Amino acid sequence: MTAPTPHVLVINAGSSSLKYQLIDTATDESLASGLIERIGSPESVAHHTVDGTKHDKEVECLDHGQALQILSNAFQEHGPVVTAESLIAIGHRVVHGGATFATPVVIDDDVIAAITDLIPLAPLHNPGNLAGIEQARIAFPSVPQVAVFDTAFHATMSPAASTYAVPKAWREEHGVRKYGFHGTSHAFVSRRAAALTNLPVAEANVIVLHLGNGASACAVEGGTSIDTSMGLTPMDGLIMGTRPGDLDPSLPGHLSRVAGLSLEDYDKALAKESGLQGLTGSADFREVMTGYQAGEPEAQLAVEAVVHRIVRHVGALAAVLGRVDAIAFTAGIGENNAVLRELVMLRLGILGVVADEAANNSAEGEALISADSSHTQVWVIPTNEEGEIAQQSATLVAS
């Protein structure tokens, strides 16, 4: 009998899209990746990339079951071969694990029921994640399915960090507390930051700035999360593409009284119409930065507010950590936008940060962007959430 290939299929299923990646966990190599967009519409689009070639196809994809079929067909048509025998696991990204899941778990009916119970904490995310899981179990019934939670990395936060000072009944009956998100990214990037600064993970204090369409900052002490900017839901903290981050908690009551806003209107406005979208009319940071550089007042205010918010959170997390060895920029904006990184670094003199302008402007892949004289090292570190999910899934099924 030949040993199974250590391949993990990583699935990140949203309500209307499904991203996937096939990873060889022995080498960390990504063998193929894909995206099925507009699930639920007769005019969906499927993209499958293998060996550097992207294959695009218009398909009908009315539900997640069809999405799994399209995924299987893409592997059959363009490779590589994916069968129940070639996979050691399917790793699913699940956004909210609440207080129930502090580690990845092999999925069974009880796990599905528990993730279903957590839907009220992540109504925009957990239902899509669950649909992906259920259909992958049907498509690959003999392959172990693993759930890796965005919240799990933050389970190490102390009660002092995770407690909201609200009535006891809210906390005890409804799980109201800070959970934090982007855990697989913060785990991966903070480990790389420790390695790059030549410190054992157990001794490195790192602040990770995950700046993408969603954005969060995390204080990582000795490999564990001790505080983070997101809270009960992925809404709190930094200014994001369409979400506002920090707000005064009295806002829903105020808007209900003065503008008659319903809770549904309020939730929708915060999820889809706030952040960069609310400030400039565009949720895409590239467009906002173009406006900033052209001197457009709205874009200038937006970038200044984004920078101010990041600096304020870095300051708070630095105080919580007590000592900062490295700061790491990651995700779409953090990895690609040198101007934003420079604006942030210029404001971090309190941590002894000295930017290396040339290194920052030419950064590609993993790059040190602070000067030799900088008291705190600053790095760009591309995140690898799929790779982290694959590794965590492989480790779990091997144990």
Binding mask 218-247 for ligand AMP (x = CB under 6 A): -----------------------x------
Contacts of 260 (CB under 8 A, 6+ apart): none
Phi, then psi, of 342 in degrees rounded to 5: -65, -40
Q: What is the largest CA-CA distance in the chain?
A: 71
Q: Work out the burial of residue 52: count CB atoms within 10 Å of its CB; fewer than 13 is exposed, 13-18 middle, 19 or more buried.
A: exposed
Is 274 a binding residue for ligand AMP by CB under 6 A? The answer is no
Is 213 a binding residue for ligand AMP by CB under 6 A? The answer is yes
Which residue, 101, 352, 337, is CA-closest to 215?
Answer: 337
Contacts of 122 (CB under 8 A, 6+ apart): 95, 96, 233, 234
Nearer to ligand AMP among residue 30 and residue 213 (C-beta): 213
Contacts of ligand AMP in 289-308 (CB under 6 A): 289
Is 33 a binding residue for ligand AMP by CB under 6 A? The answer is no
Strand order in the sheet with 205-211: 224-228, 215-221, 205-211, 326-330, 377-380, 367-368
Q: Choose which of 55, 268, 286, 375 interacts with ligand AMP (CB under 6 A).
A: 286
Q: Choose which of 91, 97, 212, 275 interacts with ligand AMP (CB under 6 A).
A: 212
Q: Least Å distance between CB 214 and ligand AMP?
A: 6
Is 336 a binding residue for ligand AMP by CB under 6 A? The answer is yes
Is 51 labeled as catalytic in the residue annotation?
Answer: no
Check 63, 117, 150, 227 and give the catalytic one.
Answer: 150
Is 332 a binding residue for ligand AMP by CB under 6 A? The answer is yes
Nearer to ligand AMP among residue 83 and residue 242 (C-beta): 242
Which among 55-63, 223-231, 297-305, 329-337 is the span making contact with ligand AMP, rule CB under 6 A?
A: 329-337
Is 366 a binding residue for ligand AMP by CB under 6 A? The answer is no
Which among 141-149, 316-324, 326-334, 357-365 is the span making contact with ligand AMP, rule CB under 6 A?
A: 326-334
Nearer to ligand AMP among residue 175 and residue 382 (C-beta): 382
Q: How many residues bind ligand AMP (CB under 6 A)?
A: 12
Nearer to ligand AMP among residue 69 and residue 213 (C-beta): 213
Interface residues toward ligand AMP, by CB under 6 A: 212-213, 241, 284-286, 289, 331-333, 336-337
Report, as residue numbers or ranges, the catalytic residues.
150
